Amino acid sequence: MVPLIFKFSKFIFNMFLFRLILFTCVFVLSSKLAWAQKINEPTLPMHFTDTNNRYCEWESWGFNNIPNYLCTCNNLDAAKTTQTNTLWSAGSLGLNLSGAGLNKLGLWDGGRARTTHAEFGGRIVIMDSGATVSAHTTAVAGNLIAAGINANAKAMSYATQIKNWNFTNDNAEIIAAAPDLFLSNHSYASTAAWTTIGGLLYWYGDSSLHPTRDWKFGYYDNRSRIWDSVMHANPYYLMVKASGNDRGNGVAPGVPHYYWNGSAWAISTTVRDTVGPYDCISTFGNAKNILCVGAVPAMPAGIPANVNTLSFSTWGPTDDGRIKPDLVAASGSIMSVGSASDTAYAALGGTSIAAPNVTGSLLLLQQLNFQLKGRYMLNATLKALAIHSARRCNIALPGPDYACGWGIPNFKLAAQIIKDSIQNSIQEITLLNQDSFTFFVYATPADTLKSTLVWTDPKGITSLPAYNDTSLKLVNDLDMRLYNLADSLIAMPFVLNPNNPSLPATTGDNFRDNVEQIYQTNLPSAWYKIKVKHKNNLQNNLPQKFSLIVSGTNTLSALPVSYLNMSAKQISAKEIQLSWSTVQEINNHSFEVLHGIQADKLEAISTVLGKGNSHSLHHYSYKHRNEKGFSGTQYFQLLQKDFDGKSSYSKTISLAIEEPLSIQSIVPNPFTDKLTLYYNSGQSTVQLKLYSLSGKLLLEADLPASLSGAYPLDLQNLERGMYLLMLYHPSSGEFIGIKIAKI
C-alpha cells in the first residue's frame, strides 16, 4: 500500500512540476514575443542607419506631419572615367593641378570625416564640433581630397583643404559660408518612397496627395529655393548635389508596410508604385542652379558608344520639366578612405561619391583659370564648362536626356577649352533689361559649332506640396539663337518633352531650363551670329549675368566690357549728361562718345579713358554742351576700344529734349471776356497763376504737359484793367510771366 501511495504522490508531484515548467516556458515565450513585438513597432528615431547602409538624421515634421529625415546616399570613389587624372602632376596635359592653396571647398554631410586619417594630412577643418565621425562623410571627403598614399584612393583635388559641416542646420550654415567658398558637396537627400529601418518597411509618400507615388519626386522645395537664392547672391559659389539612389526601389504587391496617416505610422498592404524610372529625383535635387550628379559605371579604360546609368541612379525630369540630373559620373565598388582607423580604406558605391568626383575636379578648373587668366570663373561659367565639355551617354544622340542629363564630364577637354582661346571662347556677360548680346562666329562645313548658355537664375516660387506641380520655376527666361548675317534663323537650342521623357531631344524654344545649348554641323562657310536676349522683363528690371561658351569655330567676340547701365539726362537747355557703369573690363583702353540727332548718323565728340583690367564696379560720366541749345531727340552710343586696337559698340540710347517753358501766344490780348493761352511745358505739368498788379492771387490752375498746349480762360468776372499771367514749373522752379489787359 505504501509503495502505491508513494507512486501516486510521485505522479502528482511530477505532474505539478511539468505544469510549472510548461507555465514558465509559456510565460517566458510570451514575454519574449511581447518584447519582440514591442521592439518591432514603428518608431520615430532621431537618427538611424537603414538596410542600404544610409545614415539618416531627423530634420523636421514635413507636410501633413510626416517625419522628414536627411539621408546620405551610397558611396563611390572617383575614377579615371572623367579624365581628371590628366590634370594632375604627371598627367598628360602637363598642368600639375592639385588644388593646393585653393582652400575654397565646403562639405556638408551626415557627420564629420575622420580628420586623423593619413590620407587627409590635417587638411580637414571641422566646423561642427558636436558631429560624430561618419564612414559616409569620410569616404566623400576621401574622394575630394585624399592625398593618394594608396594610389587607388587618390582624390580629385588631392592637396586642398575642406571645411566640413554636419548637414544639421545646413541652410543657415550655407548662407553664412557661401561668400568664402567656390564649391561645396552635398551627398544627401530627403527620405522618399521606400525605406527599411530595423527590419520594418516604411513608405514615405503621402496618400492624401497621391496614393501610390511619393509627391517629393521632382518637387521644387523650400531648400531648393534657398540654395538657388544663395548661389544667385554669391555668383562665384557653386553647389554640387548627388541625385540620389531611389530609382527602382519598390516592394511586391500586398507586402505589409507602414505609412503615415497624418499623426502616426499605420500598417497597410496598399499596392504602391516602384520608384521611377523617370521623375524620381527628390526635393532639393531639383534646384535650378546646383550641379546635380547621377551615376554610371566606372570606365577607366575608355567610354563605349552607349552608356547606361546604374540601376539606382535617379532620373528626371523635374515636375516643371527641367533637365536633371545635369551630369553623371563614375560609380561602382571603388576604393575610398575608410573610417575604421587612420589607415583604413573601404569599397563603396552610389551617387554620393559621383558628386565629389565632379566637385573636386571643378576646383582644379578654377585653379587653372586663375593661373592662365588671373581671375576665377563665375558659378554659371564653371557649370557651363562642365556641361559644354561633357560626352553624351549615347554618342549617337547629340542632345541631353533625362537619365544622363548632359552626359559624362570630360575634364581634360574642359581644361583644353580654358587653354585654347582660338577655337574656344568663354564669355561672362551682364545682360541689361530689354537688351541683347551678339557674338560672331565663322563656320565652315568641316566645323562643329557648339555653344552653351548658362545663367544663375533668381530663386523660384515654392508651391504648397502637391503631386507633379508643373508650374514653371524659371524666373529670367534667357534665349539663345543662331542667325546668319541676314538675321535669318539657323538653329535653336535643345529641348526635351517631359510628357514623353524617353523621346530623344529635339530643338525649339527652351522656356524651362537655365541651361541652353546649340549644336550644329555642316554649316555653309559664312559668318554667323549667336544672339542672347530675354523674354518679357528681367526680375525687377535688374541685370542678369550669364555665361556663354562657344567652341569648334573661329570666333569674333565683342570686347570683354560688361555694361551695368547707360543713360542720358538733360541738365539744362544747353547741357546733357551721359552716364554709364561697367562691372568688368578686360584690356579696355577707352570709350569714344558718339552723338547725333539721327540714330544711324553718330559722330565722335569726346574720349573717356577706361580702367584697363578690372572686375569691380566703375561709374563714368560725360557732359555734352551745346551753346545753341538742344532740341528734338538726341542719340548717344559708346565705341569701346582695347589696347590692341579692337573695338565694339554699346547699345544706342536716346533722349527726348524738353523744350524751355514758354508762353507762345495769348489770343486775344487785350480781351473782353475770354482768351486762349498757347504754351509749351515740355514733359512736365505746370501751374497757371493770375495776379493783380498789386500782387493778389486771383486764379490758379494745373496745365497738362504739352509741347503746343492750348488752354481757354473765362475771365468775364474780372474788372477792366491790367493783370499778370504766370506759368510756374514746380519741379525746376522755373517761371515766366506776361501782362494781359481786359477792356
How do residues 335-344 score in pLDDT, each as one tens digit? 789 999 999 9
Radius of gyration of the chain (CA): 36
| Average pLDDT of every residue of the chain | 88
Query: Is the pLDDT at 685 greater than 90, yes or no?
Result: no
Report how far apart, in Å, the C-alpha atoms of 702 and of each of 538, 687, 691 are.
37, 5, 15
Percent of the chain topping pLDDT 90? 67
Residue 378 confidence class, pLDDT cut points 50, 70, 90: very high
User: 550 pairs with which residues across the strands?
Assistant: 425, 451
Higher pLDDT, 689 or 629: 689
**Angstrom distance (rounded) from CA 461 to CA 446:** 45
Domain boundaries, the chain: 56-419, 424-459+469-556, 564-656, 662-742
CATH number for region 564-656: 2.60.40.10
Higher pLDDT, 137 or 62: 137
pLDDT at residue number 313: 96
- DSSP line for 566-583: EEEEEEETTEEEEEEEEE
| DSSP class of 287 | -
| DSSP class of 388 | H
User: 737 pairs with which residues across the strands?
Assistant: 726
**Angstrom distance (rounded) from CA 664 to CA 691:** 19
Here the cell at position 635 is 542719340
Mean predicted confidence (pLDDT) in 326-343: 88
Contacts of 388 (CB under 8 A, 6+ apart): 414, 417, 450, 452, 517, 549, 551
Report CA dihedral (518, 520, 525, 526) to the nearest 10 degrees.
Answer: -20
Higher pLDDT, 606 or 38: 606
**Angstrom distance (rounded) from CA 605 to CA 72:** 64
pLDDT at residue number 18: 46
**Angstrom distance (rounded) from CA 490 to CA 529:** 9
- Report the relative pairing of strands 291-297 and 327-331 from DSSP bridges: parallel
- Quote the pTM value: 0.71
Residue 29 confidence class, pLDDT cut points 50, 70, 90: very low
pLDDT at residue number 23: 44
CATH superfamily, region 56-419: Peptidase S8/S53 domain (3.40.50.200)
Tens digits of per-residue pLDDT, 704-739? 888 778 999 999 989 999 999 999 887 667 788 999
pLDDT at residue number 615: 65
Contacts of 645 (CB under 8 A, 6+ apart): none
CATH 2.60.120.380 fits 424-459+469-556, yes or no: yes
Query: Is the pLDDT at 525 greater than 60, yes or no?
Result: yes
pLDDT at residue number 34: 37
Tens digits of per-residue pLDDT, 489-512? 999 999 999 999 999 999 999 999
pLDDT at residue number 560: 62
Here the cell at position 452 is 552653351
pLDDT at residue number 729: 80
Query: Is the pLDDT at 372 greater than 50, yes or no?
Result: yes
pLDDT at residue number 650: 83
Which CATH entry fits the domain spanning 662-742: 3.30.565.10, 2.60.40.10, 3.30.1360.200, 2.60.40.3080?
A: 2.60.40.3080
Tens digits of per-residue pLDDT, 279-290? 999 999 999 999
Residue 554 confidence class, pLDDT cut points 50, 70, 90: low
Query: Is the pLDDT at 405 greater than 70, yes or no?
Result: yes
Residue type, 396: A
Minimum mean pLDDT range among 74-83, 125-134, 444-453, 573-582: 74-83
Here the cell at position 199 is 527590419
Tens digits of per-residue pLDDT, 40-89? 568 788 888 777 656 677 878 888 888 888 775 533 444 478 999 999 98
Query: Is the pLDDT at 576 greater than 60, yes or no?
Result: yes
What three-state secondary structure class fits 31? Answer: helix
Mean predicted confidence (pLDDT) in 404-415: 97
The answer to whether domain 564-656 and domain 662-742 are alike in fold is yes
Mean predicted confidence (pLDDT) in 665-669: 93
Cell match 565722335: residue?
604
What three-state secondary structure class fits 84? Answer: helix
Query: Is the pLDDT at 660 greater than 80, yes or no?
Result: no
pLDDT at residue number 52: 62
**Angstrom distance (rounded) from CA 501 to CA 316:** 8
pLDDT at residue number 333: 66
